[in-house]
Structure 1
Amino acid sequence: MKTAVTELLGIEYPIIQGGMAWVGEYHLAAAVSEAGGLGIIGAASAPADIVRQQVREARKLTSRPIGVNVMLLNPNADGVAEVIVEEGVEVVTTGAGSPAKYMDMWKAAGVKVIPVVASVAMAKMMERSGADAVVAEGMESGGHIGSATTMTLVPQVADAVNIPVIAAGGIADGRGFAAAFMLGAQAVQMGTRFVAASESIAHDNYKQKVIKARDIDSEITGMSTGHPIRQIRNKMTREYLKLEKEGASFEELEYLTLGSLRKAVMEGDVVNGTLMAGQCAGMVSRVQSCREIIEEIIHDGSVLLKI
């Protein structure tokens, strides 16, 4: 299935895996790429040497393009940005800021740069900075979110920029895939569906919480801090929201969630851990391989798009 994004990135299908912290490591990224999509290693707050190791391990599992997601607030971002060039990573996605300071270095090395944006203004700014495409991510997504929905954000970004737009937020099946293209996107980015992939290292407790989630089971914490996060509700989210309502300080709230994502992903603590997942978790019904997920979405989406 050829689109502007598959041509840009040299991939078979216009499906990109979200660069999820802890979940988006080399096993998952390589499996998505090998299945014809674009797998993304989530650098999160990892040191540069860890990211280098992740890239090299992914290379052992696939010869197809892979990407790295750089959280620009990461104190190790400078080193990670250099590793991307040194290791010949084909694609970088970015979040939590502007990648302008790295743009010349990445572009000189032939890296395709795709910032994740939550507004039209940011999309236009990224285009001016030299971005090759943008991910327009609606607030239905898991993890850190903006304030606009996918349904409203994607078409407005598509109208505002001349570079390809990748839709993200609430997309988990062929219907969402087809809808994204009708809104003006040239590809989709998915995170929650891949959490439950068989190649995902997420603990089975985490995967089962995603699979059993209903449409109303996600909620947003951190609105008072200006850093809202969507996740599946549990004891930790209830305590967090209670503290927010009582006017707890940023430090108190941060302490409550310290290491909580790792606890959920690696240890399976679904009571006190952070279970980042989008509203589409209610559409994820079983564990499947990355290849099965991608082929199912492409088949169902193509039927709806009549292509």
Structure 2
Amino acid sequence: MKTRITEMLEIKYPIIQGGMAWVAEHHLAAAVSEAGGLGLIGGANAPGEAVRDEIRKARVLTEKPIGVNVMLLSPHAEDVAKVVVEEGIKVVTTGAGNPEKYMDMWKSAGIRVIPVVASVALARRMEKYGADAVVAEGMESGGHIGEQTTMTLVPQIADVVSIPVIAAGGIGDGRGIAAAFMLGAEAVQMGTRFVVADESIVHENYKERIIKAKDIDSAVTGRTHGHPVRCLRNQMTREYTRLEQEGKSFEELEYLTLGTLRKAVQEGDVTGGTVMAGQIAGMVSRRQSCKEMIEEMMGEASRLMHWDLCTAGQHI
């Protein structure tokens, strides 16, 4: 399945792994890339040298292209922005901010810049400032979210930009990939399903919580202060919601969640930790290798899209 994204990024399949904080490290990124997708190393709040180390470790595991997600609100964003240039990274995705200040440096180095956007206005702005593509991320995603759904956001962005659109949010199987293409996307970005991959270093408790999740297990905290975050319901989300309803300040609520994602990912605390996952968690039912996941999803998507084209042809 060739698209402008697969050709631009020199990957076999139009699947990009999300740059999830504490999750998207070198083992997972290398495994996704080796399986034919694009693996990303999540910069999150890590210092530049830590990201450099992750890049080099990933390159020991694969010769395929890998990318880096730069979290622009990080205090180390500028260092990470320079590290990706120094290390010869060819693809950067960005989140939590506007990458314009780094755009000239990255473009001069031949880096493909793909911002994650949650609105039509930001997608237009990113195209104007030289983005090579955008990730249109719906509110079904895990972690920090916007307000539009993937179903409504992707086609609206695809209608107004000429650069390729990558769909994200609520995609975890071949049906989701096929649907994203029907909406105008040329690739998908996925996070939650890759969390439970064999190569993922996430604690077994975290993986098991996603695998056992039901459709109603997703919760959004932080809406009252304009910083909504999607995760799976637990003691922490209930406490957060209670304090939110009591009108506690953003600072008080932030203190409650400080370090809780790391506790969940690394220590397996799925009760008091933050178990970030998208609504698609209710469909993730088993562990697999990245290769098995990608080949299964692409096989299903290809069959569905072929059926759709054949069926459409019968009605012309």
Does TM-score exceed 0.5, indicating one fold? Answer: yes
The yes-or-no answer on 1:272 pairing with 2:287 is no
Residue type at the aligned position of 1:118: A
User: Counterpart of 2:140?
Assistant: 140
Deviation digits for residues 104-146 of structure 1, max 9, x if unmatched? 1101111100000000000000000100000000000000000
Q: CA deviation at 1:32?
A: 0.2
Q: Which moved more, 1:245-254 or 1:182-191?
A: 245-254
User: Counterpart of 1:215?
Assistant: 215
Q: Distance in 1 between matches of 2:186 and 2:212?
A: 31
Q: Distance in 1 between matches of 2:28 and 2:90?
A: 17
Q: CA deviation at 1:252?
A: 1.0
User: Counterpart of 2:314?
Assistant: none
User: Counterpart of 1:234?
Assistant: 234
User: Counterpart of 1:293?
Assistant: 293
User: Counterpart of 2:48?
Assistant: 48
Q: Distance in 2 between matches of 1:38 and 1:74?
A: 23
Deviation digits for residues 67-97 of structure 1, max 9, x if unmatched? 1001100010000000000001110000111
Q: CA deviation at 1:225?
A: 1.6
Q: CA deviation at 1:58?
A: 0.3
User: Counterpart of 1:262?
Assistant: 262
User: Counterpart of 1:22?
Assistant: 22
The yes-or-no answer on 1:156 pairing with 2:177 is no
The yes-or-no answer on 1:204 pairing with 2:204 is yes
Q: Distance in 2 between matches of 1:225 and 1:12?
A: 41
Q: Normalising by the residue count of structure 2, what TM-score does the alignment of the two structures yield?
A: 0.97
Q: Normalising by the residue count of structure 1, what TM-score does the alignment of the two structures yield?
A: 0.99
Residue type at the aligned position of 1:33: S
Residue type at the aligned position of 1:277: A
Q: Distance in 2 between matches of 1:139 and 1:99?
A: 21
Structure 2: tracts of 5 or more residues without a match: 310-316
Q: Distance in 2 between matches of 1:64 and 1:226?
A: 38
Q: Distance in 2 between matches of 1:49 and 1:241?
A: 37
User: Counterpart of 1:189?
Assistant: 189
User: Counterpart of 2:89?
Assistant: 89
Structure 1: tracts of 5 or more residues without a match: none
Q: Distance in 1 between matches of 2:153 and 2:86?
A: 35
User: Counterpart of 2:124?
Assistant: 124
Q: CA deviation at 1:180?
A: 0.2
Deviation digits for residues 148-205 of structure 1, max 9, x if unmatched? 0000000000001000000000000000000000000000000000001010011000
Q: Distance in 1 between matches of 2:232 and 2:107?
A: 38
Secondary structure at the counterpart of residue 116 of structure 2: strand
User: Counterpart of 2:39?
Assistant: 39
User: Counterpart of 2:313?
Assistant: none
The percent identity for this pair of structures is 72
Deviation beyond 2 Å, 4+ runs, structure 1: none
Q: CA deviation at 1:251?
A: 1.4
Q: Distance in 1 between matches of 2:251 and 2:74?
A: 18
User: Counterpart of 1:284?
Assistant: 284
Residue type at the aligned position of 1:109: A
Secondary structure at the counterpart of residue 207 of structure 1: helix
What's the Cα RMSD here? Answer: 0.6
Deviation digits for residues 34-64 of structure 1, max 9, x if unmatched? 0000000000000000000000000000111
Q: Distance in 2 between matches of 1:89 and 1:226?
A: 33
User: Counterpart of 2:246?
Assistant: 246
Q: Distance in 1 between matches of 2:72 and 2:108?
A: 19
Q: Distance in 2 between matches of 1:105 and 1:221?
A: 36
